[in-house]
Amino acid sequence: MAEPYYITTAISYPNGRPHIGHAYEAVAADVIARFQRLAGRDVRFQTGTDEHGLKMAQKARDLGVTPKQLADEMSSYFIEMCDVLNVRYDVFLRTTEARHHASTQELWRRMAVSGDIYPDRYEGWYSIRDEAYYDASELIDGEGGQKLSPQGTPVEWTVEESWFFRLSAYGERLLALYRDHPEFIQPESRRNEVMRFVESGLRDLSVSRTSFDWGVKVPGSEDHVMYVWVDALTNYLTGLGFPDDTPEFAKWWPADLHLIGKDIVRFHAVYWPAFLMSANVPLPKQVFGHGFMLNKGRKESKSLGNVTDPLDLARSFGVDALRYFLMREVVFGQDGNYTPAAIVTRANAELANSYGNLVQRICSMIFKNMEGEIKSFPIAEPDTRLLAQVRSACAVELPREFSALNLSGGIEAWMRGVFACNQYVDEQAPWTLKKTDPARMEAVLLTLFKAIRDLTIAISPVVPAAAAKVLDQLGIPDGERDLAALADEGWYARRVAAGIALGQPEGAFPRLDVPPEEEPAEA
Ligand code: ME8
């Protein structure tokens, strides 16, 4: 039976439409999920929206709607984003669902049973934008002496009766977790930050609010709603049916990967494992904090007026080109920049020219010069060498890098396979062989047919629609498009026996025009 793999994204605040950062995270999670399916794992992929808290309540009040109306409208745009970007989740969880309230309340009860919940009075700084408490020592000075959070968001002094979680009791156990499981927080730089934070001493956490009521009610203390992060983090359990003993929970928990952005690592790598330890629930295996996608070096914000709708980018450049760019351009884990011109340049150079053109040229030559016939052929030394190089890129290097979440590194390995094919085309010059040695031309084209099939299967998690189109054209059956198929030497003989002729190929990777306003900067 296939080994299960449970991956989650952060659940986004639906206080506005999705931005490029949301698209980046959703696409990355989808690429990882698709890759794990390709590797034969039984994957469950959960995403959703984080609908409670002050931030949502205030935004709704500003717009003159209820928080639920705001969440209903905006969460639909997050679902739409996933649909458009070909992000194939299994569960889209909304925290306003009744089952989520029940699940969060049960987690709370278990933490209370462990003696970790007690009443006290909170006095300190709170950032509504981050939905986070900060210690005075963490704050920075903004313009006019205004106090800001380390993320640069406004903070306000808050005094409230609240329930506390005994976070301070978990410092040693958390440090032991990070030491014993260095893979628990990745990349390494984030792990170091978290270790320093925990080593400096943890204070108990205020986990309920009384000044507003948009949240999950605290069991037995109905005038309190839970701190939004208690409820938000629990979404990862709710989607599996927690607290019931469901087959889903038994199969998929603990999660293999919580994929999140670098700004919320503390919540996932400190608070979340402490809550779970307290409630006696096993811990997730890994938290990966990816970097930020910046617009020409700056974070997008409504006040800077530089907010891009990721769906506009997908409409302008194509979903696969956008997905490829996002995964290829920056080392996963680091911050990256995007501009429309950079998307076009990358997609044109690699997808359209190096790879798309290879597919198009070779398939057309097979169609025109061989009536599309895929047949057995005598293989020569350069052909074997090329196929070994391509197989190594597709079946060894890319899977090794993708498994380690080095997505750009995996794509680079794949590009080396593409380059090897293009070099082989130049060296073998099939268009010359057409006149001098037609039998050898056929062997060269069919060698490339094999290589293209491997390359297309390997890159399919990144560009699923285009890859499916190419594999359809090549006549590769649906059930033979995974890593196991790459290792199966019998595929070509079966393909020959199937006797399907290659048709006139249709391009799967159009060349894009560089957007005019960007041309001067790029020229
Ligand atoms: O933090 N580039 O929601 P959110 C890349 N509700 N990623 C970015 C980004 C950017 N420019 N901006 C934000 C929340 N993100 C909470 C999560 S999880 C139990 C609760 C990432 O809508 C961000 O780091 O502010 C987070 O992982 C995700 O987008 C949702 O951010």
Q: What is the CATH number of the domain that holds 251?
A: 3.40.50.620
Low-confidence ranges of the chain (pLDDT < 70): 301-304, 516-523
- Ligand 1 closest atom vs CA 292: 2
Ligand 1 pocket, Cβ-based, cut-off 6 angstroms: 10-13, 21-22, 24-25, 50, 232-233, 235, 260-261, 263-264, 292-293, 299
Expressed in angstroms and rounded, the spacing between residue 29 Cα and the centre of ligand 1 is 13
- Note whether 252 and 378 are same-domain residues: no
Residue 220 Cα to ligand 1 midpoint, Å, equals 32
Shortest-distance Cα residue to atom 7 of ligand 1 = 21
User: How far is it between the farthest Cα atoms of the chain?
Assistant: 88
Indicate if 276 and 414 belong to the same structural domain: no
Tell me if 114 is assigned to some domain: yes
Q: Does residue 118 sit in the same domain as residue 236?
A: yes
Query: If you search the block for the tokens 């049960």, which residue do you land on?
Result: 106
Task: Tell whether 297 is covered by a domain.
Answer: no
Same domain? 280 vs 388 = no
- At residue 145, the pLDDT reads 82
DSSP string, 229-289: HHHHHHHHHHTTTTTS--HHHHHHPSPSEEEEEGGGHHIIIIIHHHHHHHTT-PPPS-EEE
What pLDDT is recorded for position 295?
Answer: 87
Residue 192 lies in a domain: yes
Alpha-helical segments (H) within 381-514: 381-391, 398-403, 407-428, 430-436, 438-459, 464-474, 483-486, 491-498
Q: Are residues 51 and 67 in contact, defined by beta-carbon separation less than 8 angstroms? A: yes
Q: CATH number, domain at 398? A: 1.10.730.10
267 and 350 share one domain: no
Domain contains 330: no
- The residue among 480, 503, 478, 483 whose CA lies nearest residue 492 is 480
As a whole number of angstroms, the distance between CA 161 and CA 159 comes to 7
pLDDT of residue 519: 47
Q: Is residue 221 domain-resident?
A: yes
User: Which protein residue's CA is at the shortest distance from atom 13 of ligand 1?
Assistant: 21
CA distance 319 to 324: 9
Residues 104, 252: one domain? yes
pLDDT of residue 435: 96
The last residue of one of the domains, among 291, 324, 350, is 291
Which ligand 1 atom is the nearest neighbour of the CA of 233? 19
Is residue 415 located within the same domain as residue 279?
Answer: no
Distance of CA 262 to the CA centre of its chain: 13
Contact 481, 457 (CB under 8 A): yes
Split into its structural domains, the chain has a count of: 2
Q: Average pLDDT, whole number, for the chain?
A: 95
Shared-domain flag, residues 363 and 257 = no
Query: Cα(271) to centroid of ligand 1, in Å?
Result: 17
Judged by DSSP in three states, 261 sits in strand
Q: Are residues 250 and 363 in the same domain?
A: no
Cβ(36)–Cβ(73) below 8 Å: no
- Tokens for 457? 């299967």
pLDDT for 144: 85
Cα separation, 284 vs 281, whole angstroms:
9
**Mode of pairing for the β-strands spanning 217-218 and 221-226:** antiparallel
pLDDT at residue number 283: 98
Domain boundary among 291, 308, 330: 291
Give me ligand 1 centre to Cα 260, in Å.
7
At CA 147, angle to CA 143 and CA 149, rounded to 5?
A: 110
What ligand 1 atom has the least distance to the C-alpha of 261?
24
Whether 301 maps to a domain, the answer reads no
- Same structural domain, 357 and 461: yes
Query: How high is the pLDDT of residue 520?
Result: 45
My answer on whether 20 and 87 are in the same domain is yes
Tell whether 119 is covered by a domain: yes
Domain coverage including residue 459? 340-498
The per-residue pLDDT for 308 is 86
Atom 23 of ligand 1 has which residue's CA nearest to it? Answer: 261
3-state SS, residue 129: coil
Q: Can you read off the two tokens belonging to residue 361?
A: 């040229």
Q: Residue 294's closest CA among 306, 285, 302?
A: 306
Ligand 1: which atom is nearest the Cα of residue 293?
2
Reference 47, options 81, 84, 4; nearest CA is 81
386 and 268 in one domain? no
Query: Can you give the pLDDT at residue 523?
Result: 34
* 153 located within any domain: yes
The confidence score (pLDDT) of residue 136 equals 92
Is 239 within 8 Å of 258 (Cβ atoms)? no
pLDDT value, residue 299: 79
Q: How many residues does the chain have?
A: 523
